[in-house]
A and B are shown apart, each in its own frame.
Chain A
């Protein structure tokens, strides 16, 4: 069970999200409607996870994202899942730049409808994983060239799944290959993106970042 602070200005959605999180056994310790209250709620409750909308009062621009970035800068280990209405590389890249890029998620709001996927993303982010919306990944796969030009279609597919925050085992199941084959692909990707061997989890995030920065 996770203790969650939720920020979403639409009452309808906020209540829906509370219900959804409860349904999967999490406790929403605070559900707020603007960025300032979000910051207060986080310092008051010290939650396991923050879920926030991008566009929020008072300016209805990117206050929610800004608040998330501030929170992450203050405490780089605080897991934050940002829900966005837009497929936006700039938002996702800025978010992944905080901390070491682990324990963050950038999901399209539409994705909350896919309740199981959403619950899975919530769990992964809270555990320190990195989740980038498949739609953002897809758009980048379509557009980005160097240094991704060097990747084979299969390797791109694998990188996409890595960006979505999947583990090697999950990727192997998705692509119906062995886990060893996935490991080999990832090794090739990291090689082609010129990411020298270090701690393996970090390199996965760096690979995704290479992607988002274009």
Chain B
């Protein structure tokens, strides 16, 4: 019962100031609308549901210990503008506004009534003997209704108050729970909202697992096959030094073969996951990818370090883009520009080729867009026939 009482009392403490605040915002906002200052105030009024919703979800823990998750999504980029844009487009925001209105106009007065009936009146009855003592034993009004003359009557009244509290306790708790259930119904995430968040998370987990597997394969090849091959090549080299001439010639052939395998293995390992990406980050890794490109590339990249998934996605996207330039564009030159500004990583790959790249045709571009999408990133391709092709990727991070 104490939890229910605390829930209802704190509800009044939220509801009453809320009513005042919303009225003020509404009146001032509407009044100032002709001079345009009012419009932001009205927008603010529309968003009052958001903090109220958060507070009310938190307050639910007074009745039920389980936390209620937020129905809101996290904005793609930092900054108040992006936040407001997302909030205004989410249904949860409008449900919260509805709830805030309901709380301000109906729910908290109702809470007051219930608290008064179930606690206030019995409380006053219990207090009658004290009341009688204060006025000096003459006569007083119990609960402003009955005239009380003697202490006998007063104590009878107090006993009645106690009994009433016990009787009303049950409806009070029921009311508090119903009130909490209504709040939960309006403010908890709808199933679709929850599911979408779950799908996004599981997609990110899949990509992370794929990335981890990639690293594991790279490490295994590096620590296993590559080291053994180097050791083999070294032994062959030493054996050749001490071998008689006719054997030395054959050893030289074997040695050349082993070295060729080493070169191929090194390239393979680099393709799976370049160490420079982990050690020096995206900027150097892009410069390295440019070094290896068949088409000459000019690199203009100034980037800080990012989280591993961001660096990986961006790096492989750049490499795919460079591979496309080399394979399809017929370009003679390419340019890469990379910057990090206002919470967005933006990389542009441009070439002077013939254009006509189509991201919808199931090419590597689709896979590239998918990888970026996991991080809420975007890929735009401008490639008119005749060229040039400009590929822009943006990742909020």
Contact = CB atoms under 8 A, between A and B. Distances in A.
A145 B291 CA distance: 11
A61 B279 contact: yes
A12 interface: yes
25 contacts: A10-B227, A10-B231, A12-B228, A12-B231, A20-B234, A20-B237, A54-B275, A61-B278, A61-B279, A62-B275, A65-B279, A85-B222, A86-B266, A89-B288, A90-B284, A91-B276, A108-B266, A110-B230, A110-B262, A110-B263, A113-B234, A113-B259, A114-B237, A143-B296, A145-B298
Contacts of A88: 275-276, 288
A12 B233 CA distance: 12
B275 A61 contact: yes
A204 interface: no
| Main SS class of interface, A | helix
Given A10-B227, A85-B226, A145-B296, A115 B275 contact: no
Interface string A77-90: 00000000111111
Interface string A145-160: 1000000000000000
A90 B237 contact: no
Interface in B286-324: 287-288, 290-292, 296, 298
B227 A13 contact: yes
B292 A139 contact: yes
Interface string B219-239: 100110011101101111110
A87 B266 CA distance: 9
Contacts of B266: 85-87, 108, 110
B275 A86 contact: yes
Contacts of B88: none
B255 interface: yes
Given A85-B226, A143-B290, A115 B234 contact: yes
B280 interface: yes
Interface string A113-151: 111101000000000000000000001101101000000
| Main SS class of interface, B | helix
B276 A86 contact: yes
Nearest to B222: A85
A16 B231 contact: yes
B67 interface: no
A90 B283 CA distance: 11
Interface in A5-32: 10, 12-13, 16-17, 19-20, 23
B269 interface: yes
A6 to B, nearest CB: 13
Nearest to A142: B291
B276 A13 contact: no
B291 A110 contact: no
A62 B279 contact: yes
Interface residues of B, number: 38
B275 A143 contact: no
Given A12-B228, A20-B234, A85-B222, A113 B258 contact: yes
Contact of B234 (A16, A89, A143, A214): A16
A145 B299 CA distance: 11
Contacts of B278: 61
B241 interface: yes
A83 to B, nearest CB: 9
A115 B227 contact: no
Nearest to A8: B227
A10 B219 CA distance: 13
B236 A113 contact: yes
Contacts of A118: 237
Contacts of A143: 290-291, 296
B270 interface: yes
A89 B285 CA distance: 10
B259 A55 contact: no
Contacts of A65: 279
Contacts of B223: 10
B274 interface: yes
A3 interface: no
A146 B180 CA distance: 71
A145 B296 CA distance: 9
Nearest to B235: A16
A23 B291 contact: no
Interface string B357-385: 00000000000000000000000000000
